[in-house]
Amino acid sequence: MDRNPIDGGVIAVYWKCEAFNTETGRKWQIYDNIRLNPDPTSPTFIDFNSLTKDIVLNWVWDTVNKQAIEENIRVETEMVRHSELSPGLPW
C-alpha cells in the first residue's frame, strides 16, 4: 500500500491473485492496483494505523470483480492443462 505520511490516508492498494497447478508446477498470477482518494475530513476516513486486512480487502473487492478474476485464472490453468504446449526455457 501507498499512503500519505501526513494524514495517514491510503492512496493505492496493490493486489494479486495466484493459482498453482500441482500437476505441472506452473503458477499463474494476475495483479494490479486500485487508487483511492482519501478525505481525512470525512467521517468514514480510516487512518493507516487503524486499518485491518478485512477493511483493505473490502476496498479491493468493491473495485475488482473477484469472481471474474478467479474464473479467468481457472480458465487459463485449464487451457494449459489440456494443451499440447510445453512451456519453459532450455536453460
pLDDT above 90: residue 1: yes
Give me the mean pLDDT over the 37-50 stretch: 94
The full DSSP string for 7-72 is: T--EEEEEEEEEEE-TTT--EEEEEEEEE----TTSTT---GGG--HHHHHHHHHHHS-HHHHHHH
pTM of the model: 0.75
